Amino acid sequence: MLYHLSFAVRDPQHVAEVVAKLWQGKSIPFPGHVGSFIAMAMDAYGTAIEFLPKGSVLKPVASGEMEDWFQEPNTTGYTATHVNMAVPISEAEIYAIANREGWRAVRCGRQGFFELVEFWIENEIMLELIPPNLVEGYQTFIRPENLKAIFNLE
C-alpha cells in the first residue's frame, strides 16, 4: 500500500492545490518544511503527495532519527519518478484542469494492456491518472491471474 510520495516542483503550493482538485481533496502547508505543501486525497488510506521546492533533496543524518532536507542548486526538470493513481473526476475534468494550467494531458495506452491519462505537472513530472471510465481496464490488467498469464509467471 502506498500512502504518500514526494516530488520537487517549482511552485509547491500551486501544484498541491491542483493535485488536490484532481482528487477532490485538500492541500495544506507541509509542517516542518518551509515552502512545502501536501495534497491529500482525504480518503480512508491517507493518500497524499508532498510537493517540495525544486532542488530539495533528502539526506540522512548521523543519528538516524530523522532525515534532513537540503537545497541543491543544480536541478533538472524531467525525472523518471512518477505515480499511477485513480482519481474520482472525469477524463473531461482532467483535461479542463490541464488546459487551465497550460500543462500537457493526453490519453495513452500502455502496450495494449490498459489506458490512462498522462498529466504533466509543470510540464515536467508525469502523473498517470486513471479516471472512473478507465479503472476497469487497469484493474483487469493487474489481477494476479492476468499478470501471471501475461508475464509467464508461476
- Residues 6+ positions from 63 with CB-CB distance below 8 Å: none
Return the C-alpha cell found at 131: 479516471
Phi first, then psi: what are they for 107, rounded to 5°?
A: -80, 130
Q: Is the pLDDT of residue 66 over 60?
A: no
- The answer to whether the predicted template modeling score (pTM) of the entire model surpasses 0.85 is no
Cell 477524463 found at:
91
Integer Rg of the chain from CA = 17
> What are the tens digits of pLDDT across the range 94-150?
999 999 999 999 999 998 899 999 999 999 999 999 999 999 999 999 999 999 999
CB 77 within 8 A of CB 83: no
CB 57 within 8 A of CB 69: yes
pLDDT tier for residue 56 given thresholds of 50, 70 and 90: confident
| pLDDT value of residue 49 | 96
